[in-house]
A = this chain, B = another copy of it.
Amino acid sequence: MTHESAVPPGTTVAQIGETQLLEAFLPVATTRGPHVLVGPGDDCAVVAAPGERVVLTTDTLTLGQDFRTVWPCGYRTTGTDLGHKCAAQNLADVAAMGAVPTAVVVSLTLPGDTPVQWVADFAAGLSRAFEELGATECALVGGDLGRGAELSVTATVTGRCEGEPVLRSGATGGGTLVHAGVLGRAAAGLDALEAGSPGPWDAVAGSERLALRAAQLRPAPPVPLGPVLARAGATAMLDVSDGLLRDAGRIARASGLRIDLDPAALEPCVAALAGPAAAAGADPWQWVLTGGEDHGLLAVLPVDSPVPPGARAIGSCAPASPVGRHRTNGPEGQPGRGPSVTVAGRSSAQWFGRDVVEGWDHFEP
């Protein structure tokens, strides 16, 4: 779906001025909301901050690193896709604090041959994601449009906390590990997008391929569940952006925990991916345990707290013993730091029967 702008079809950003580009961008963006005191057009936006505090996060998507214009499977990333993904990953960070997203500022770095329509589609995709992902109090309040050789977008999102913000480090007493959202689907979708044709993915049903690609291109974090989990008593939370094992390890290290994942609880996620995995020759457990970019919410609840609808228990957490604290845990673990994450009581390598890449590091050598 595209969104009409006032310039002739095919016009590129190099052919018009900044003012005209803003005129293509702003009318299709959601720029009003309950927290917008001053919207786009001044040197700063002014955003309401109930409770005299604001949560704040920023994320960048860069062409070639975080997405491709044209994928090996032939799919071409649309402006709407990128607007959605840009919103989704930032909204998930706000939700992971137990907070409600209130405002977004976005900076676009655009090659001169970028169609103006692409920029309008980005604004529409970003704004529609607010609605689709349940961030109904959120609005675009400002940004920066600039030129560059490489397409890149950076969004910064603010949010309001109802109670205390939920950190990664608050689960010192242990508890139940719960997850809301999907696991492994964005990683499977990445494999599908990266697959050429003819190739193993041709054996996967077209509708399933499309759904998995969409999981990678337009992830759907359960944004409203962030505050729900906070109210349910979550003592630690983050969004799973770099893979379950790696992100569970982050909570474990920050809170001083041993986390044991329950494979039986993860089995439904694996079963849902078994068909495409078998056809494509992939291991669905690898997708579920190490795949990033689903942006689901991973939280620790007190053992006696009911798990709210939309989340499910996937493991248990106990305070790390001094010995446990000295075990290594994946690429970020170092001797003497970080307690471990296990699967049914075994290291992930033992459980898999082989070494696994535990998740995504933007700078891994």
Contact surface of A with B, Cβ cutoff 8 Å: 13-21, 37-38, 41-60, 62-66, 92-94, 96-97, 99, 103, 105-107, 109, 141-150, 152, 154, 156, 158-159, 161, 165, 167-169, 237-239, 254, 331-332, 361-365
Chain B residues positioned under 8 Å from A16 (CB to CB): 363, 365
Q: How far is the CA of A154 from the CA of B47 in the complex (A)?
A: 20
Q: How far is the CA of A59 from the CA of B107 in the complex (A)?
A: 7
Decide if B147 touches A109 in the complex (CB within 8 Å): no
CB distance from A101 to the nearest CB of B (A): 10
Chain B residues positioned under 8 Å from A48 (CB to CB): 52-53
Assuming A47-B53, A58-B154, is B149 touching A332 (CB within 8 A)? no
CB distance from A4 to the nearest CB of B (A): 20
> Contact partner of A57 among B43, B147, B168, B169, CB < 8 A?
B43
> Contact partner of A55 among B45, B58, B99, CB < 8 A?
B45
Decide if A64 touches B18 in the complex (CB within 8 Å): no
CB distance from A42 to the nearest CB of B (A): 5
Q: Which residue of B lies closest to A111 (CB)?
A: B150
The contact sample of 12 A-B pairs, CB cut-off 8 A, is A16-B365, A37-B53, A41-B168, A42-B169, A43-B93, A43-B97, A43-B237, A44-B97, A44-B159, A49-B53, A58-B107, A156-B156
Decide if B58 touches A144 in the complex (CB within 8 Å): yes
Assuming A53-B37, A65-B148, is B14 touching A365 (CB within 8 A)? yes
Chain B residues positioned under 8 Å from A149 (CB to CB): 64, 149-150
Chain B residues positioned under 8 Å from A161 (CB to CB): 46
Q: Which residue of B lies closest to A19 (CB)?
A: B332
Assuming A15-B365, A361-B18, is B57 touching A105 (CB within 8 A)? yes
Chain B residues positioned under 8 Å from A159 (CB to CB): 44
> Contact partner of A147 among B51, B93, B363, CB < 8 A?
B363
Assuming A38-B165, A49-B49, is B109 touching A156 (CB within 8 A)? no
Chain B residues positioned under 8 Å from A99 (CB to CB): 44
Chain B residues positioned under 8 Å from A53 (CB to CB): 37, 46-49
Decide if B43 touches A363 in the complex (CB within 8 Å): no
Decide if B47 touches A54 in the complex (CB within 8 Å): yes
CB distance from A45 to the nearest CB of B (A): 5
CB distance from A223 to the nearest CB of B (A): 12
Assuming A64-B149, A150-B149, is B44 touching A96 (CB within 8 A)? yes
Q: How far is the CA of A168 from the CA of B45 in the complex (A)?
A: 12
Chain B residues positioned under 8 Å from A167 (CB to CB): 38, 42
Chain B residues positioned under 8 Å from A57 (CB to CB): 43-45, 105, 142
